[in-house]
Amino acid sequence: MSSDQPLLLAGCWQPSMDATNVFRAEDPQQGVAIGPEFPVSGQIDLEAALAAGQEAAAELSAASPAQVADFLATYADALAGDAETLSNLAHAETALPKTPRLVQVELPRTVGQLREAAQAVRACSWTHPVIDTEAGLRSHLAPLGKPVLVMGPNNFPFAFNAVAGSDFASAIAARNPVIAKGHPSHPATTRRMAELAHHALATAGLPAGTLQLLYHFDHALGQRVAADRRLGAIAFTGSRQAGLALKAAADPAGVPVFAELSSLNPVFLLPGALAERGGDIANEFASSCMLGSGQFCTNPGLVVAPRGRHGDDFVDQASQLFGQADPMVLFSRGVLDELEASVEQLRAAGASLICGGHSGTPGYRFVPTLMSVDGERFLADSEQLQAEAFGPVSLLVRVSDMEQALAIAEVLEGNLTAAIYRGGDGADDDHWKKLAARLRPRVGRLINSHMPTGVAVSAAQNHGGPYPSTTSVHHTAVGMPAAITRFAALHCYDDVADDLLPVELRDRNPGGVQRLIDGHWTTADIEPRR
Amino acid sequence: MSSDQPLLLAGCWQPSMDATNVFRAEDPQQGVAIGPEFPVSGQIDLEAALAAGQEAAAELSAASPAQVADFLATYADALAGDAETLSNLAHAETALPKTPRLVQVELPRTVGQLREAAQAVRACSWTHPVIDTEAGLRSHLAPLGKPVLVMGPNNFPFAFNAVAGSDFASAIAARNPVIAKGHPSHPATTRRMAELAHHALATAGLPAGTLQLLYHFDHALGQRVAADRRLGAIAFTGSRQAGLALKAAADPAGVPVFAELSSLNPVFLLPGALAERGGDIANEFASSCMLGSGQFCTNPGLVVAPRGRHGDDFVDQASQLFGQADPMVLFSRGVLDELEASVEQLRAAGASLICGGHSGTPGYRFVPTLMSVDGERFLADSEQLQAEAFGPVSLLVRVSDMEQALAIAEVLEGNLTAAIYRGGDGADDDHWKKLAARLRPRVGRLINSHMPTGVAVSAAQNHGGPYPSTTSVHHTAVGMPAAITRFAALHCYDDVADDLLPVELRDRNPGGVQRLIDGHWTTADIEPRR
């Protein structure tokens, strides 16, 4: 198969060596192919990427933090300066609106994230230096010494793109080269970003092999690569099925997989909150669930509301808002097919349709959909009724009392988030505490009285959660410097002379790095040893 | 099968409900069974432990850090006060010398480790609170909310015991209950320690189900339990084969396994160091390799020495020291069998015996053994020649030059440690740097000019390393507070009112916890929000 769209391999833009197929992006609004043909890579392309990634890893490990920070900052500037072209490409390939989404929200977020990564690199804030002067031991987090395979999702063409998002920024910040697999739904966007990254690498004087890009390869090849011990780690954001297949392949080889998978993001509405401002909450819920056609990992997919008047009012108002909305464009035929299957699965398990439930035309559209089920029924078939429906769909669970809400909290799988809405007069507070105690071990981020969408990039963020929402309950995928530590190894130096140590572990600390020395955080120097 | 030795299940000492067999400890010096019969547990015992562990997890998560610290400190005192009985039991079951090993080294280490865990709990130093006042996000590390299965090894009856060692102390410090599987080679020691722990739990007012103890269960049952999602994590120290089988079972269920497996701990001797003090190094090497009959995970199992006069002198002196030593007692028939098989595997791959290589009598003994192989041969069959020989055995690799030493460094698997000996005059320093660059990504602790045995319990320690030496390159198994973080989940609170937050994330900080607030480490309070 031939395609004129080059891969970025071993530092050069070059044609695929063994494309097994070609593919094109689609305009999801019309369901028609657009743009050039891109290659689907085979084993030879991947082998070349792995070999070059090994070489780049050794070079990049030895690069100075200043160079890495320069690259991240230069690349961020280049992206910010290319907003018009990037947003045109991304809009055509994803149908996400240019404004506000792509230009005012997602690109600034992406740029800001790269700048925060640069800052974390300059400050060495991700390396957590720990020094025990008496024992002669000095430890810090350090590069893996191997490339990281980053596989991007469909739903953030910029902010989670394999060549620009948080996984990319994190892996590079820890001085590991990235082998990126772009998502096939937005290849031209990805290529454009990778070109800017490639230039920025040259400007910063980093190895050109620091970033390699393949547009697509099939699942079977992905699983073979995942089991390759030349990889230091894999970062994946996408469906539970694909992510777990990748993990199953990588696990026996000891390759860590940081996968962000599915999440229902349950929202519990307490009686006081509904009595006080049920209408506002219905508005917040409808906006959150329909934002970006509901294609967010933090979409509120499950809402637990009490029976009775205030609960009924909330459901009525939410139903009106959902019922008035036009069919919404999804990213692809695949997303539409999976959404239809999920809605069918929920119906088969006993959920009833309040509104929506069908596709629309032209292109790949689905009508915003509300479903409902009784608490008893949910508890009777909680596994089937926790199917994620990726799109503008949510399941309302109507509960008879607080005991039933607590019982539901106890059967929930691991999720990224849970939210509890409570009233302002304190009457809900005891319920809040009981629910929070049940939900806390099941989620990464526990939210008070707002919807889960809108993930702030912050050092205190946790965009992560217990299995199966992610594959590591210890780590966040968003927020510097914590996200960087996923791609780092703990390195200890035992009785090593000062001039043979990494700079940040030496006695003198001219960079003012925060270090934990003999139990105290300090930026001070260490008195030279006798 | 009946046995009068009770299990510690669900807070009570009680007989096994479904023992499938019984076993007794052995005196390894004579190879004869000693002490009472202990039960081999079946599925019913394990199910009871899992169910009770779930309950204890919810209670323990809500316990105060002060109570947990009190327990750890009280238990430490109880162990220290029971040195005579404990060391008698452990000596009988392991043949490790009472002095200095058991009484002066290992018990104080165990006690000190529990006290350091208590201190980390009091200071909240393992929870790493991060607060972003503007975004309204507050995160910290928190209990898993599930029990941790801890499986102890044969080689440290106190310091890595499943009811008292670092894994135990770490899991409890993070407020997770422990389901302990003692090692079947020292059941009476384990039972005695668990009795002291059980009393200390009552004294501190913690749930009695915080510690449960089973003495033994078979591999098949272990693997079935490892796949149980009611477990928050598994800690394992032992053989590569058993550890990887456990990991393979746990991985598909998303249960994290922190396993410490095999390590060769390569030692590279640079020419200047050998010229300067080859005799001293031979002494250090022989002592390190024969300490504890060589049954340490940090035993120097591979020594890379140059050909030529200084290298020959080193080998001659080491050979004399090994050759003069008596046969050494191993822990069990199993350890002896595996050691014989490993030595045979090394011989089959081309290593030749310098001295030793056979077992001795009575009981389970093996003669300290040195083997040798040329660098060329090692590189030709590096996989077979990296077989771990657990016991007083080391393989010398004689290299022609520095290039060959570097090539060997590049084919090494992941190890806990590597050591490089260099001369004091600076002539070795360039070699040191080149070797260190190759070894660094392959090991957890890089040691300058001393042997790898003797793992200090320190906040700056890394007793960990890349796969397959352990299953997590991010974490250490020894050293507080870092070891505790293995058994913690990242919890974020989003816009949660001050009085609904965990104490250490509230505005006021009366405990003086070190917190990262808006990018700065501080023990200060936060000004209340408007």
Which of A146, A448, A497 shows the shortest C-beta gap to B448?
A: A497
Which of B139, B442, B460 shows the shortest C-beta gap to A492?
A: B460
Asked if B436's CB is within 8 angstroms of A500's CB, the reply is: yes
For chain A, what's the residue count? 530
Distances in Å between the alpha carbon of B495 and those of A50, A133, B132, B518? 43, 40, 10, 15
C-alpha distance from B163 to closest chain A C-alpha (Å): 24
Q: Is the dihedral of CA B215, B217, B218, B224 positive or negative?
A: negative
Residue of B nearest to A432 (CA): B500
C-alpha distance from B410 to closest chain A C-alpha (Å): 12
Contact A201, A172 (CB under 8 A): no
Give CA B237 to chain center in angstroms. Answer: 5
Structure tokens at A267: 């929202």
Predicted TM-score (pTM) of the model is: 0.97
Asked if A248's CB is within 8 angstroms of B467's CB, the reply is: no
C-alpha distance from A328 to closest chain B C-alpha (Å): 29
Q: Is the dihedral of CA A113, A115, A118, A119 positive or negative?
A: negative
- Beta pairing, strands B211-214 & B178-181: parallel
Which of A141, A459, A516 shows the shortest C-beta gap to B132?
A: A459
How far apart are the C-alpha atoms of A296 and A453, rounded to whole Å?
Answer: 7
Q: What is the DSSP letter of B459?
A: T
Q: How many CB atoms lie within 10 A of CB A486?
A: 25
How far apart are the C-alpha atoms of B416 and B410, rounded to whole Å?
Answer: 16
Asked if A482's CB is within 8 angstroms of B130's CB, the reply is: yes
Low-confidence stretches of chain A (pLDDT beneath 50)? none
Asked if the bond preceding A481 is cis, omega within 30° of 0, the reply is yes
C-alpha distance from A384 to closest chain B C-alpha (Å): 18
Distances in Å between the alpha carbon of A430 and those of A46, A118, A367, A436, A437? 55, 43, 38, 10, 11
Whose tokens are 């009777």? That residue is A380
Q: Please report which residue ranges of B251-383 form alpha helices under DSSP H.
A: 271-290, 309-324, 333-348, 375-380
Q: What does the pLDDT read at residue A4?
A: 81
Q: In chain B, how many H helices and how many E strands?
A: 14, 24
Asked if A135's CB is within 8 angstroms of B456's CB, the reply is: yes
- Beta pairing, strands A359-360 & A365-366: antiparallel
Contact A485, A478 (CB under 8 A): no
Asked if A475's CB is within 8 angstroms of B489's CB, the reply is: no
- Beta pairing, strands A328-329 & A365-366: antiparallel
Q: What is the DSSP letter of A480?
A: T
Dihedral-angle region of residue B470 (phi above 0 means left; psi in -120 to 50 means alpha; beta otherwise): beta
How far apart are the C-alpha atoms of B440 and A131, rounded to whole Å?
Answer: 18
Reduce the DSSP state of residue B463 to 3 states and report it: coil
| CB-CB neighbors (< 8 A) of B500 in chain A | 429, 432-433, 436, 448
Percent of chain B that is helix, strand, coil (3-state, to 5): 45, 20, 35
Instruction: For the sheet with B365-366, list strands across it.
Output: B328-329, B365-366, B359-360
Low-confidence stretches of chain B (pLDDT beneath 70)? 1-2, 529-530
How far apart are the C-alpha atoms of B11 and A27, rounded to whole Å?
Answer: 62
How far apart are the C-alpha atoms of B211 and A262, rounded to whole Å?
Answer: 34
Distances in Å between the alpha carbon of B59 and those of A213, B52, B198? 49, 11, 16
Q: Is the dihedral of CA A392, A395, A396, A402 positive or negative?
A: negative
- Phi, psi for A426 (deg, rounded to 5): 90, -10
| CB-CB neighbors (< 8 A) of B432 in chain A | 500
Residue of A nearest to B145 (CA): A441
Q: How many CB atoms lie within 10 A of CB B403?
A: 11
Count Cα atoms within 13 angstroms, Cβ side, for B460: 24
Interface size between A and B, measured as CB pairs under 8 A: 200
How far apart are the C-alpha atoms of B204 and B206, rounded to whole Å?
Answer: 6
Count Cα atoms within 13 angstroms, Cβ side, for A231: 28
The DSSP bridge partners found for residue A12 are: A9
Contact A480, A121 (CB under 8 A): no
| CB-CB neighbors (< 8 A) of A139 in chain B | 460-462, 476
Contact A483, A120 (CB under 8 A): no
Asked if B429's CB is within 8 angstroms of A462's CB, the reply is: no
| CB-CB neighbors (< 8 A) of B471 in chain A | 254
Longest dimension (CA), chain B: 78
- The interface predicted TM-score of the complex, written ipTM, equals 0.97
Instruction: For the sheet with A257-260, list strands across it.
Output: A12-14, A7-9, A211-214, A178-181, A148-151, A233-237, A257-260
| CB-CB neighbors (< 8 A) of B135 in chain A | 456, 458, 460-461
Please choose, from the candidates B208, B263, B259, the residue with its C-alpha nearest in 3D space to the C-alpha of residue B8.
B208
Please choose, from the candidates A185, A190, A181, the residue with its C-alpha nearest in 3D space to the C-alpha of residue A154.
A185
Please choose, from the candidates B344, B370, B343, the residue with its C-alpha nearest in 3D space to the C-alpha of residue B356.
B370
Contact B492, B502 (CB under 8 A): no
Asked if A247's CB is within 8 angstroms of B460's CB, the reply is: no
| CB-CB neighbors (< 8 A) of A496 in chain B | 446-448
Q: How many CB atoms lie within 10 A of CB B22?
A: 18
Structure tokens at A228: 């390759």
Whose tokens are 């009393």? That residue is B199
How far apart are the C-alpha atoms of A341 and A397, rounded to whole Å?
Answer: 20
Distances in Å between the alpha carbon of B507 and those of A201, A521, B137? 43, 20, 12
How far apart are the C-alpha atoms of A293 and A223, rounded to whole Å?
Answer: 30
How far apart are the C-alpha atoms of A463 and A458, rounded to whole Å?
Answer: 10
Give the best residue of A139, A170, A410, A442 to mutate against chain B (max B CB count within 10 A): A139
